[in-house]
Amino acid sequence: MSKGVHHEFQAGAGHDAHEGSSDRSFGFVFAAVFALIGLYSAWHAGKAWPWLALVAAGFLAVALIRPAVLAPLNRLWMKFGLLLAMIVNPIVLGILFFLLFTPMALIARLVGKDFLRLEKQPEAKSYWIVRDPPGPEPVSMKDQF
Side-chain-side CA neighbours of 145 within 13 Å: the count stands at 0
pLDDT tens, residue by residue, 43-98: 887 777 889 999 999 999 999 999 999 999 999 999 999 999 999 999 999 999 99
Distance between CA atoms of residues 70 and 23, nearest Å = 6
Contacts of 34 (CB under 8 A, 6+ apart): 52, 53, 55, 56, 59
Across residues 102-116, what is the average pLDDT?
93
Size of the chain in residues: 145
Where does the pLDDT of residue 137 fall: very low under 50, low under 70, confident under 90, or very high at 90 and above?
confident
Distance between CA atoms of residues 118 and 112, nearest Å = 12
Across residues 5-32, what is the average pLDDT?
74
pTM confidence score: 0.61
DSSP-derived secondary structure for the chain: --TT-S----TT-GGG------HHHHHHHHHHHHHHHHHHIIIIIS---HHHHHHHHHHHHHHHH-GGGGHHHHHHHHHHHHHHHHHHHHHHHHHHIIIIIHHHHHHHHHTT--TT--S--TT-S------SS----GGGGSS--
pLDDT at 19: 76
